[in-house]
Amino acid sequence: MDGPKVPPRSAGALAGILDSPEIGRLIAELGETRWTGRPGYPLRAMVGVALAKSLYSIPTWTRTVALVREHDALREAIGGECPSVYAAYRFAAKLRAYSDLLDACIARVLDRLHREDPGMGRDLSIDGSDRPAYANGQRFVSKGGRERADSEFSDQDASWGHRSAISTRKGGGYYGYKIDMATCSHTGLPVAWNVRSARHAEAPAAAPLLDAVRAHGFAPETAAMDKGYDVGPVYDACEDRGIRPIIPLRNTSKVERGEHRPPSCEHGTWTFAGSDPSRGASKWRCPTGECKPASRWVKADRLHPLVPRKTARFLR
Ligand SMILES: [Zn+2]
What's the CA-to-centroid distance between 265 and ligand 1, angstroms?
Answer: 5
What's the CA-to-centroid distance between 273 and ligand 1, angstroms?
Answer: 14
Angle between helices 8-19 and 21-32 (to 10 degrees): 60
Whole-Å CA distances, 64 to 32, 41, 50, 51, 87: 26, 16, 8, 10, 12
- DSSP annotation of 287 reads S
What's the CA-to-centroid distance between 266 and ligand 1, angstroms?
Answer: 6
CA dist 282 and 211 (Å) reads 25
What's the CA-to-centroid distance between 236 and ligand 1, angstroms?
Answer: 30
pLDDT for residue 165: 39
Cis link prior to 118 (omega < 30° from 0)?
no
What's the CA-to-centroid distance between 288 and ligand 1, angstroms?
Answer: 6
pLDDT for residue 167: 39
pLDDT for residue 201: 80
- DSSP annotation of 269 reads E
Model confidence pTM above 0.85:
no
Pairing state between β 281-285 and 295-299: antiparallel
What's the CA-to-centroid distance between 25 and ligand 1, angstroms?
Answer: 64
In one-letter notation, the amino acid at residue 115 is R
What's the CA-to-centroid distance between 285 and ligand 1, angstroms?
Answer: 8
What's the CA-to-centroid distance between 309 and ligand 1, angstroms?
Answer: 22
What's the CA-to-centroid distance between 262 and ligand 1, angstroms?
Answer: 12
**Phi-psi region at 255: left, alpha or beta (left = phi > 0; alpha = psi -120 to 50):** alpha
What's the CA-to-centroid distance between 257 and ligand 1, angstroms?
Answer: 21
pLDDT for residue 131: 66
CA dist 223 and 210 (Å) reads 9
Contact residues for 15 (Cβ-Cβ < 8 A; gap 6+): 76, 77, 78
What's the CA-to-centroid distance between 313 and ligand 1, angstroms?
Answer: 26
pLDDT for residue 149: 47
**Strand ranges (DSSP E) for the chain?**
123-132, 159-162, 173-184, 190-197, 222-224, 244-246, 264-265, 268-269, 271-276, 281-285, 295-299
pLDDT along the chain (316 residues), means of 10: 55 91 93 70 92 86 92 92 90 86 92 95 91 47 47 40 42 67 93 84 90 95 94 94 94 93 94 92 96 94 89 60
In one-letter notation, the amino acid at residue 82 is C
Three-state secondary structure string covering 54-80 = HHCCCCCHHHHHHHHHHCHHHHHHCCC
pLDDT for residue 143: 47
CA dist 235 and 238 (Å) reads 5
pLDDT for residue 226: 92
What's the CA-to-centroid distance between 287 and ligand 1, angstroms?
Answer: 6
What's the CA-to-centroid distance between 276 and ligand 1, angstroms?
Answer: 22
- Edge-first strand order for the sheet with 295-299 is 271-276, 281-285, 295-299
Instruction: Kindly provide the b/e burial profile for residues 53-70, where b requires at least 16 CB atoms within 10 angstroms of the residue's own CB.
Output: bebbebeebebbbbbbee
Instruction: Kindly provide the b/e burial profile for residues 285-307, where b requires at least 16 CB atoms within 10 angstroms of the residue's own CB.
Output: bbeeeebeeeeeebebbbbbbbb
CA dist 8 and 18 (Å) reads 17
pLDDT for residue 289: 95
CA dist 96 and 264 (Å) reads 58
